[in-house]
Chains A and B, each alone.
Chain A
Amino acid sequence: ETAVFQTPNYHVTQVGNEVSFNCKQTLGHDTMYWYKQDSKKLLKIMFSYNNKQLIVNETVPRRFSPQSSDKAHLNLRIKSVEPEDSAVYLCASSYWPLYEQYFGPGTRLTVL
């Protein structure tokens, strides 16, 4: 059963463009996350966010920023994409602070 939704499934763009990915969860969770899965399939946390706190992984470049309108939505914006941003971006949600996380299907970004 799909409960974490991501759009688009795929996105191809050129270096320097701005892109935005959407994530919505219908599980009633209060915390959402963005992860990056690179070409070697390694997963790394980028952001975690609830209505009180945003935690940014220190390795995430400043051109990445999360945007939330409410606890069910957490979008990801990339201001000026670079080739190394090509990856699959996964959104997840959970109850805070120590509960099972559920993942969306991912958005595959290709930067030409």
Chain B
Amino acid sequence: EQQVQQSPASLVLQEAENAELQCSFSIFTNQVQWFYQRPGGRLVSLLYNPSGTKQSGRLTSTTVIKERRSSLHISSSQITDSGTYLCAMDRGSALGRLHFGAGTQLIVIP
């Protein structure tokens, strides 16, 4: 059972366009975190956003816990934004074990 669903699975943007990535959860969560990963690269934390709206540079995440969803908005995309964006949540269990979605593969072209 896939408890974290991400959409779209892949996305191609032209440089400077905006992107909206979606994440939905099949069960209640109180911990949501967005990550970025290049092929063969380290998993980098982008935003930790258990509720409400949080911003970091060109990234904005909005989490609505009651609706079991979170989104990541990337404004003015750059070629270096290309990679995989992963959403993760904690099922509310002890010790904050994250459960990951399959990711959105973003490709930004010139």
A103/B48 in contact, CB under 8 A: no
Q: Chain A residues with Cβ under 8 A from B94's Cβ?
A: 48, 53, 55, 97
| B14-70 interface with A by 8 A CB criterion | 30-31, 33, 35, 37, 42-45, 48, 50
Residues of B within 8 A of A102 (CB): 45
B102 at the interface (CB under 8 A from A): yes
Report the Cα distance A94→B35, complex, angstroms: 15
| Complex alpha-carbon distance, A94 and B99, angstroms | 15
Question: Could you say which of A39-47, A67-75, A77-85 contacts chain B?
Answer: A39-47
**CB of A85 to closest CB in B, whole Å:** 19
Contact status of A41 and B84, CB under 8 A, knowing A90-B43, A98-B30, A100-B45: yes
B95 surroundings in chain A (CB, below 8 A): 31, 48-50, 53, 55, 96-97
**Choice from B31, B88, B99 contacting A98 with Cβ under 8 Å:** B31
A33 to B84, CA, bound (A): 21
Interface centre among B45, B93, B98, B103 (most CB of A within 10 A): B98
CA distance A103 to B33 in the complex (A): 12
Inter-subunit contact B50/A48 (CB<8 Å): no
User: Using Cβ atoms and an 8 Å threshold, which residues of chain B touch A35?
Assistant: 98
Complex CA gap A33/B97 in Å reads 8
B8 within 8 A of A: no
Q: Tell me if A66 is interfacial: C-beta within 8 Å of chain B.
A: no
When the two chains form their complex, are residues A103 and B42 in contact, meaning their CB atoms are under 8 A apart? yes
Partner of A100, one of B30, B33, B97: B33
Identify the A interface with B (CB < 8 A).
Answer: 31, 33, 35, 40-45, 48-50, 53, 55, 57, 90, 92, 94, 96-106
Besides A96-B95, A101-B98, 11 other A-B contacts (C-beta < 8 A): A35-B98, A41-B84, A43-B43, A43-B88, A44-B99, A92-B43, A96-B96, A97-B94, A98-B50, A103-B35, A106-B43
